[in-house]
Amino acid sequence: MSQGRHQPAADPWADLRAHTAARIALGRSGAAMPTHELLRFGLAHAQARDAVHVQLDTAAVAAELQAQGHATLHVQSAAPDRAAYLLRPDLGRRLGAADAQALAASQEGGCDLLLVVADGLSSLAVQRHAAGLVRHIGAAAPEGWRIGPVVIATQARVALGDDIGAALKARMVAVLIGERPGLSAPDGIGIYLTWQPQPGRHDAQRNCISNVRPEGLPLPAAAARLWWLCREARRLGLTGVNLKDMSDVEVLAPAGVQGTALR
């Protein structure tokens, strides 16, 4: 009497893998990782390195933003190249001398919100998502708010927005910057909002919206959250640790829940 084939046991991790990009229960081949998992890890690591080192195509980003009707400016930090930027974070936090003088002499300024699109540690994220994010921010702008020209900044750290915002006399600056890439997310954007930007501001005086990308916090939701924070910042006259982000309740709550509209 023939016996039926042995059926392999169901993978108990399959359901969890469907809900996360994290590397879990990778298995093993002898004392080592399976070859396909080792190759996946190598690819993810290479993509993360590329996200850091690939140069931002500022002309393409500017063209996308201008097609939306935004005026654009381009500045660079005091870091002369990518190697200096990575080794000297302090240089990425201040403007190069020529750009500082140019902004000081600019006729632009006096806006309620200034958007700075910065390459940061993932030019890939900015190349993919920045123009779309700016489009959603512009579409959700409350009536009467003045948005300045979009400043494209290269070799930039978050604090560079303070120099730029101060030079252009912005009430608030939002820095849309490429976040440090991870092995499952090389293309996330972080948004850092600062009230009354000026040199010397520190991170406790900012609000951060992180992991902005289609697979993380969607672009429309990030725009809605930013405007909620902007309204609260103007009401309170501050950003940072004293501005508690309640936008999940008031803006991003499921449909039908009271209080989901922007105030």
DSSP 195: E
Task: Name residues whose C-beta falls within 8 Å of residue 25's C-beta, 6 or more positions apart in sequence.
Answer: 13, 17
**pTM beyond cutoff 0.95:** no
Q: What is the C-alpha to C-alpha distance for residues 43 and 27, in angstroms, rounded to an integer? A: 18
Q: How confident is the model at residue 3 (pLDDT cuts 50, 70, 90)?
A: low
Q: What is the pLDDT of residue 259?
A: 42
* Torsion of Cα atoms, 32 then 36 then 39 then 44, to 10°: -110
Q: What is the pLDDT of residue 191?
A: 98
Q: Give residue-wise pLDDT tens across range 127-144.
A: 999 999 999 999 999 999
From residue 183, alpha-carbon distances to 85, 109, 187 in Å are 22, 39, 10
Q: What is the C-alpha to C-alpha distance for residues 179 and 43, in angstroms, rounded to an integer? A: 19
Q: What is the C-alpha to C-alpha distance for residues 78 and 96, in angstroms, rounded to an integer? A: 4
Q: What is the pLDDT of residue 109?
A: 66
Q: What is the C-alpha to C-alpha distance for residues 250 and 13, in angstroms, rounded to an integer? A: 35
Domain boundaries, the chain: 53-250
pLDDT > 70? residue 123: yes
Which SS3 state, helix, strand or coil, does residue 241 take?
coil
pLDDT > 80? residue 24: no
pLDDT > 50? residue 251: yes
Bigger pLDDT: 10 vs 150? 150
Other CB atoms within 10 Å distance of the CB of residue 73: 19
Q: How confident is the model at residue 77 (pLDDT cuts 50, 70, 90)?
A: very high
Q: Give residue-wise pLDDT tens across range 140-198.
A: 999 999 999 999 999 999 999 999 999 999 999 999 999 998 877 889 999 999 999 99
Q: What is the pLDDT of residue 7?
A: 66
Calculate mean pLDDT across residues 247-252.
71
DSSP string, 140-193: TPPTT--B-PEEEEES--TTHHHHHHHHTT-SEEEEEEEPPP-SS-S--EEEEE
pLDDT > 50? residue 246: yes
Q: Give residue-wise pLDDT tens across range 26-68.
A: 777 888 888 888 888 888 888 888 888 899 999 999 999 999 9
Q: What is the pLDDT of residue 4?
A: 58
Other CB atoms within 10 Å distance of the CB of residue 142: 13
pLDDT > 50? residue 255: no
Other CB atoms within 10 Å distance of the CB of residue 4: 5
Q: What is the C-alpha to C-alpha distance for residues 205 and 161, in angstroms, rounded to an integer? A: 13
Q: How far is CA 16 from the centre of its chain?
A: 27
Q: What is the C-alpha to C-alpha distance for residues 245 and 225, in angstroms, rounded to an integer? A: 8
Q: Give residue-wise pLDDT tens across range 197-228.
A: 999 999 999 999 999 999 899 999 999 999 99
CB 152 within 8 A of CB 73: yes
User: In the CATH hierarchy, which fold is given to the domain comprising 53-250?
Assistant: Rossmann fold (3.40.50)
Q: How far apart are the first and last CA of the chain?
A: 75
Q: How confident is the model at residue 252 (pLDDT cuts 50, 70, 90)?
A: low
pLDDT > 60? residue 263: no
Calculate mean pLDDT across residues 104-108.
76
Q: What is the pLDDT of residue 257?
A: 44
pLDDT > 80? residue 2: no
From residue 145, alpha-carbon distances to 111, 165, 256 in Å are 8, 16, 28
